[in-house]
Amino acid sequence: MNVVLIGMAGAGKSLAGRLLADALGYAFIDTDTSLAAKHGEPLQAILDRLGDDAFIQAEEAEILALAGIERTVIAPGGSVIYSAAAMRFLKSMALAVYLRVPLATLEARIDPTTRGIVGLKARTFSELYAEREAAYVAAADLTVEADGKTAEQVAAEIFAAAASVLA
């Protein structure tokens, strides 16, 4: 069994994911990092070059390439929610944990103009948040309120909640 952390950019998926992986004795994969490495450029440059639809397809391919992995914490990009195939795959092989962080906190943490966020050309960050929030909630097996908590606290909360499922 694996764990996948879903949520918006800036929610803390990568940092909490690394800590959770260490606590569980699991491997850790950040698909944004692997996608950037594969393309040899930052996510924003990939998104600018490919456009939203092709970026989502590239992200989906990165996710589907994880077939067969076990005992891994996966931190995909926030736009993974736009790929039905990627989400079906992740849900079939992992416990999906939504890291919920309020819009105001995310806006304070990140600069959406340099982060490589799918959908910002057609919508505001606030509109994107509202759209994705419902999708994350629907996809999640577990939701963790991550606002005001350290990455260590978030990882510990996931560990405690998921221990019986992952055992």
Q: What is the pLDDT of residue 162?
A: 86
The answer as to whether 27 is a domain residue is: yes
CATH number for the domain spanning 8: value is 3.40.50.300
Dump pLDDT digits (tens) for 90-134. Answer: 999 999 999 999 999 999 998 877 777 899 888 899 999 999 999
Supply the pTM of this predicted model: 0.94
Point out the residues of the chain with pLDDT beneath 70.
167
The structure tokens listed for 96 are: 């999906």
Q: What is the pLDDT of residue 31?
A: 96
**Count of the separate structural domains present in the chain:** 1
The answer as to whether 103 is a domain residue is: yes
3-state secondary structure the chain: CEEEEECCCCCCHHHHHHHHHHHHCCEEEEHHHHHHHHHCCCHHHHHHHHHHHHHHHHHHHHHHCCCCCCCEEEECCHHHHHCHHHHHHHHHHEEEEEEECCHHHHHHHCCCCCCCCCCCCCCCHHHHHHHHHHHHHHHCCEEEECCCCCHHHHHHHHHHHHHHHHC
Domain interval for residue 112: 2-159
The answer as to whether 164 is a domain residue is: no
The answer as to whether 133 is a domain residue is: yes
The answer as to whether 62 is a domain residue is: yes
What 118-126 contacts at long range (C-beta under 8 Å, 24+ apart), as own/partner pairs, is 118/47, 118/52, 118/55, 118/56, 118/77, 118/78, 118/79, 118/82, 119/52, 119/79, 119/82, 121/52, 122/52
